[in-house]
């Protein structure tokens, strides 16, 4: 058996972090088992689906490094759905219903007022059919046995079909709802594992009977806890936090992948620079039932940690030409995003005007300007410089190091000066000491 997973977004909007987490876990599972990861565009809603969203979905997956092994469009598969629907009709597993939405709503309210579950009540065989009403279609659940499966996240699951409404699978206008086409596609595409949110658990119960009615073995299911915001409530922002916005904030795709891969599991979030360890460690038995908390602050911090381990070659095409490998290695521990590297170009190459020095710092800077010309810039100039200034002035600690750092970089904090100073031209450094 080739492990096959799928990601099935509807192209009615942009992908947000919840969608991406689902796609990622499907991708990780397929890659761990040497299987296939398929993209299925669920565009049966022809009015709301937009081609620009389809393109956006593909682009976002590519940006995240989630390569696909095949793509299907539900809008191109209507003939298949029709053929399988006719089989179910002939077998009596789908049936026509003629109630209007208003009638169904009234009946639901009546049942609730009586303290009863609002389960759809089937009409008896041979009931009169109202004239002029185009039917919608429901799947007939088999009430004879419970629906059971062992979920890869939630463990043993048990549903009594008698307590469930026969689900609507086709509207009166002939359009399809989600449940049946998804089952038909999973069978036809050879999907072996369905990984999705826990809000689909009751759908799965009905779909298991659909698989069986079509003569197919149901796939394995993993229903994940949903994402919530850092404040512990469902966050509207999570529903609008798209990939373009995260890219604009300077988030590296591997940072988002590293965070979402482990959210909701018992495994720690780690600053990896490759998805390989995430592929190796994916295990749905390690996923918890509690909601997974997504924190943008945690993402930003993880992004920073990952940059500290990122090689120059991985980001060179996004860096100014002036940021060489040596310069990148010097400044990367102080970057939150790759874009911030551009702020260091003037520090290395000018133009740069040191901030006015404190009056007490003048002696240190004068000594630095005097000592720097005689220092061998190719042989640890920082320690030679600080040693000479300390001997000349008696300054030490913060009183010694901070004025020199400010004069050279304009900042109170930053990279290790022993690594940074050799990357600044010697004459330029002397001029900065004098100017400060």
pLDDT in tens, 168-180: 999 999 999 999 9
Find the mean pLDDT for residues 65-69.
Answer: 98
More confident site: 3 or 360: 3
Q: Which of 51, 57, 54, 53 is nearest to 23 (CA)?
A: 57
C-alpha distances in Å from residue 227, one per residue of 19, 165, 289: 10, 28, 11
pLDDT for 329 equals 97
pLDDT for 234 equals 65
Interstrand relation of 168-170 and 136-139 (parallel, antiparallel or unpaired): antiparallel
Residue 137: pLDDT over 70: yes
**What's the pLDDT band for 354 if we cut at 50, 70, 90?**
confident
Residues 389-415 pLDDT 10s: 999 999 999 999 999 999 999 999 999
CA–CA dist 24, 411 (Å, integer): 40
Please state, rounded to an integer, the average pLDDT across all residues of the chain: 94
pLDDT for 55 equals 97
pLDDT for 101 equals 84
Domains of the chain, earliest start first: 78-224 (3.40.50.620), 339-435 (1.10.10.350)
Residues 245-274 pLDDT 10s: 999 999 999 999 999 999 999 999 999 999
Find the mean pLDDT for residues 142-153.
Answer: 97
Least confident of 184-193, 224-233, 244-253, 265-274: 224-233
Residues 6-34 pLDDT 10s: 999 999 999 999 999 999 999 999 999 99
Residue 341: pLDDT over 70: yes
pLDDT for 74 equals 97
**What's the pLDDT band for 68 if we cut at 50, 70, 90?**
very high
Residue 238: pLDDT over 90: no
CA–CA dist 187, 204 (Å, integer): 14
**Where do we find the tokens 């005689």?**
374
Residue 230: pLDDT over 80: no
């Amino acid at each position: 058996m080739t492990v096959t997973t799928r990601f099935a977004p509807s192209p009615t909007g942009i992908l947000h972090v919840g969608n991406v987490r689902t796609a990622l876990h499907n991708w990780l599972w397929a890659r761990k088992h040497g299987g296939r990861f398929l993209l299925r565009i669920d565009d049966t809603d022809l009015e709301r689906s937009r081609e620009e969203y389809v393109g956006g979905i593909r682009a976002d997956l590519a940006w995240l490094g989630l390569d696909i092994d095949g793509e299907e469009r539900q809008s191109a598969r209507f003939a298949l759905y029709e053929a399988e629907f006719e089989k179910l009709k002939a077998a009596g597993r789908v049936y026509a219903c003629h109630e209007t939405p208003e009638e169904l709503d009234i009946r639901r309210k009546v049942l609730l007022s009586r303290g009863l579950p609002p389960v759809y009540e089937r009409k008896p065989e041979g009931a009169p059919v109202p004239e002029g009403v185009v039917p919608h279609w429901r799947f007939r659940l088999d009430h004879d046995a419970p629906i059971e499966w062992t979920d890869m996240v939630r463990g043993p699951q048990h549903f009594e079909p008698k307590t469930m409404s026969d689900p609507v699978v086709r509207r009166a206008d002939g359009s399809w709802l989600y449940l049946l086409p998804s089952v038909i596609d999973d069978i036809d595409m050879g999907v072996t594992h369905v990984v999705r949110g826990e809000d689909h658990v009751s759908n799965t119960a009905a779909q298991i009977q659909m698989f069986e009615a079509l003569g197919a073995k149901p796939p394995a299911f993993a229903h994940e806890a949903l994402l919530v915001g850092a404040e512990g409530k469902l966050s509207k922002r999570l529903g609008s936090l798209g990939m373009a916005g995260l890219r604009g904030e300077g988030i590296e795709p591997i940072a988002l992948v590293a965070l979402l891969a482990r959210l909701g599991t018992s495994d720690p979030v780690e600053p990896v620079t490759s998805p390989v360890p995430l592929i190796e460690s994916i295990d749905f038995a390690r996923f918890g039932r509690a909601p997974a908390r997504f924190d943008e602050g945690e993402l930003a911090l993880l992004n920073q940690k990952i940059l500290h381990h990122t090689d120059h070659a991985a980001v060179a095409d996004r860096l100014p030409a002036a940021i060489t490998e040596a310069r990148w290695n010097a400044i990367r521990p102080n970057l939150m995003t790759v874009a911030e590297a551009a702020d260091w170009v003037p520090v290395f190459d000018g133009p740069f005007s040191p901030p006015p020095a404190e009056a007490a710092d003048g002696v240190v800077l004068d000594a630095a300007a005097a000592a720097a010309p005689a220092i061998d810039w190719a042989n640890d100039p920082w320690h030679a410089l600080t040693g000479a200034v300390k001997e000349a002035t008696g300054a030490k600690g913060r009183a010694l190091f901070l004025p020199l750092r400010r004069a050279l970089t304009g900042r109170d904090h930053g990279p290790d000066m022993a690594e940074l100073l050799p990357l600044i031209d010697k004459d330029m450094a002397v001029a900065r000491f004098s100017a400060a």
